[in-house]
Amino acid sequence: MRQPARSALSVMFTLVLAGCAAQSGSGGVSAPATTADHSGAAASTIAPNPNEFTATGDLKDIHFDFDKYEIRPGDGKILDANAAWLKANPRNLILIEGFSDERGTNEYNLALSERRARVTMTYLVGQGVQADRFTVTAYGKERALCTAHNDACWAENRRVHFLTKAQ
């Protein structure tokens, strides 16, 4: 194949893949392309050390439907309560961890988990929580809460989890 034709084919293939990636998952709320860390700078792609953050019983996990990253109405109420706690505790930084179930490729699950974490952050920012307090990370199917291979277990693993750290 001649070079110009090969280049054109390569560009078309890339555009098709980008279009497919943009349409997979859900048509839910879109999230920003980057998050901010506590300094206000763009967050790095390197996940923070989760050992620096701790769980608090005041922040509840939310869950997602299979292959989706839309926030369900019941989970919106949970996020509203989480937002109220976060606004009442402004000196806490927040690590939002996204997870998926075991079905799908590692790459797909990591991307879906990140979308879940980012849409959650976007929701909380919309409720008045400062964006520069958040860090987002995705684990995909790693760190599963439940390891059985059934629908109930998979539903438990499709979640976003919150950890905090005092500034």
Residue 99 in contact with residue 139, Cβ under 8 Å? Answer: yes
Instruction: Give the pairing of strands 134-140 and 62-63.
Output: unpaired
Give me the domain span that covers residue 112. Answer: 26-166
Q: For residues 140-144, give the mean pLDDT.
A: 92
Give a yes or no: residue 10 inside a domain.
Answer: no
Could you tell me which of 99, 46, 106, 45 has the C-alpha nearest to residue 69?
Answer: 99
Domain membership flag for residue 16: no
Note whether residue 130 is domain-resident: yes
Give the whole-number percent of the chain exceeding pLDDT 70. 71
Q: CATH number for the domain including 151?
A: 3.30.1330.60
How far is Cα 156 from Cα 20, in angstroms, rounded to an integer?
27
Mean pLDDT of 76-86: 98
Each residue of 111-125: pLDDT tens digit?
999 999 999 999 999
pLDDT digits (tens, 9 = 90+) for 28-77: 333 333 333 333 334 444 556 778 899 999 999 999 999 999 999 999 99
Is 75 a domain residue? yes
**What is the Cα–Cα distance from 137 to 77, expressed in whole angstroms?**
23
pLDDT of amino acid 49:
75
Does 24 have pLDDT greater than 70?
no
For the full predicted model, state whether its pTM sits above 0.85: no
pLDDT average, residue stretch 74-98: 97
Whether residue 62 lies inside any domain: the answer is yes
Instruction: Report yes or no: 66 and 154 within 8 Å, Cβ to Cβ.
Output: yes
Beta bridge partners of 87: none
**Structural domain includes residue 3:** no
Q: Is residue 87, in this structure, part of any structural domain at all?
A: yes
Mean pLDDT calculated for residue range 87-113:
96
Which runs of consecutive H residues, i.e. helices, occur in the chain? 3-23, 73-88, 106-126, 151-157
- pLDDT for 30 equals 31
Asked if the model's pLDDT at residue 96 lies above 50, the reply is yes
Q: Number of structural domains, the chain?
A: 1
Q: What's the average model confidence in pLDDT over 88-99? A: 96
With respect to residue 89, please indicate whether it lies within any of the assigned structural domains: yes
